[in-house]
Amino acid sequence: MAHSLREICKKIGVAYQGEDRSIRGLATLTEAGQEDLSFFHNEKYRKALADTKAAAVLIEEKYADELPEGTIPLLTDEPYLMLARATELFAHELSAEEGIPKIGQGCDIAPSARFGRNVTIGKGTRIMPGTYVGDDTVIGENVLIYPNVTIYHGSRIGDRCILHGGVVIGSDGYGFAHTRAGEHVKIHQLGNVILEEDVEIGANSTIDRGALGPTVIRKGTKIDNLVQIGHNAEIGEGCLIVAQTGIAGSTKLGRNVVMGGQSATAGHLEIGDFATIAARGGVTKSLPGNKVYGGAPAVELRLWKRMQAALMRLAK
């Protein structure tokens, strides 16, 4: 649903009297189109200002001149907070209304499974009792969904995926903006989750929906029980993620990365192809691929072992 730019500014508390435009969504600087509202609040993304195609950008006055001609600066001292308020206007309208899914041939679907509106299910898919599938979700062919799985609206489940009991796909990412008085304002999560083909997700694992774009699990990745994947993470092809691992938001794993049990990452970093993080490893910065890491903060495993040996000698 589109909103006028002036309407948005009035509702979020940004002073604006200039040209009005129709805004259909919110997006990052690099992904925004000519009908999107974007924001800038982090120097890390400053280079993206000059090339953004956004209709308007929530931005501090000192950076406004760096926007391209045709992009409207919406001046505010708190662009991230204003973004949080704007997300409410574009949030999916939840409803308890049930729909009748479009079902392919040869499906086996338990009578107790429940569906939102505009759900599509590919042929040969099996859905066990107690499952809920939200609005506008597309489930591929020959998917196996065990009991009590919850799939939120807008999700995309690829062919031959397996979701074990208690899995939650598309729950809200953990995103809040903070007022100067210390209040926490919810950033409504407007993205979705995409599982590519042949992904398997273990019992009681959770995959958060993206804040503005998708959270993506690439084909062939296998995720163990009790794993948490944060919003806008991207997990590469063929990764192995062992139980109780936590991947923070906007972190990107290359292909065939292995995350040992109870390992974790900080947000907004990258782990290269064929890297391995040993059990309980804590990744605090981006790491090159084709190496084995351990410890917290994670370092190459050989160095970590030497550090532990030196510590033991010191203790003795």
Contact, 254 vs 269, CB < 8 A?
no
Respond yes or no: is residue 153 known to be catalytic.
no
CA torsion through residues 120, 125, 129, 132, sign: negative
Joined together, the tokens standing for residue 264 give 């974790």
Q: Which is catalytic among the residues 41, 164, 188, 231?
A: 231
CA gap 208, 103 in Å, rounded = 26
**Separation in Å, CA 73 to CA 5, 25, 46, 51, 60:** 11, 16, 14, 14, 9
Among residues 281, 271, 274, the alpha carbon closest in space to that of 242 is found at 281
Backbone angles phi, psi at 10, to 5 degrees: -65, -40
Helix (H) or strand (E) holding 292: strand 292-294
3-state class (DSSP) for residue 262: coil
Joined together, the tokens standing for residue 260 give 């040992």
Helix (H) or strand (E) holding 36: strand 36-39
Joined together, the tokens standing for residue 92 give 């999916």
DSSP calls for 43-108: GGGGGGTTT---SEEEE-GGGGGGSPTTPEEEE-S-HHHHHHHHHHHHS----------EE-TT-E
DSSP calls for 105-126: TT-EE-TT-EE-SS-EE-TT-E
Catalytic amino acids? 231
